[in-house]
Amino acid sequence: DNWPGTTFLDVEFKGQGVVGKINRTHPFYRFFYEPLKDSEDQRAFQALQALLLSYFRAEDTLYNQLGHQQLQKIRNEWGRKAELLIETLTNH
């Protein structure tokens, strides 16, 4: 999906499950996710997918304890920090 701002991941809770969404306008998508997805060696992409899926499942597990607003704050801050680090690492 695409949305403005610095949030890289979003989560939708549907029924008994969770759906993870990735912001394709975030620098992480452009500099890392997309190139790994299109790479010949899929091990790095599979590792990234495992990390993201585990994050989505962790949110699902913690939703009742922390609540939507707190989890949204975490996602926003994580995305903002990732954007700043990507700018530093890629000099963009």
> In whole angstroms, what is the distance from residue 30 CA to residue 23 CA?
10
Better-predicted residue by pLDDT, 50 or 89: 50
Query: What is the model's pTM?
Result: 0.81
pLDDT tens, 33-73? Answer: 999 999 999 999 999 999 999 999 998 889 889 998 999 99
Q: Detail the DSSP E strand segments found in the chain.
A: 9-14, 17-22
Helices 43-66 and 68-90 cross at an angle (nearest 10°) of 150
pLDDT greater than 90 at residue 9: yes
> In whole angstroms, what is the distance from residue 92 CA to residue 57 CA?
32
Query: Would you put residue 78 in left (φ > 0), alpha (ψ -120 to 50) or beta?
Result: alpha
Split at pLDDT 50, 70, 90, the class of 75 is: very high
pLDDT greater than 80 at residue 92: no
**Token duo for residue 19:** 């759906």
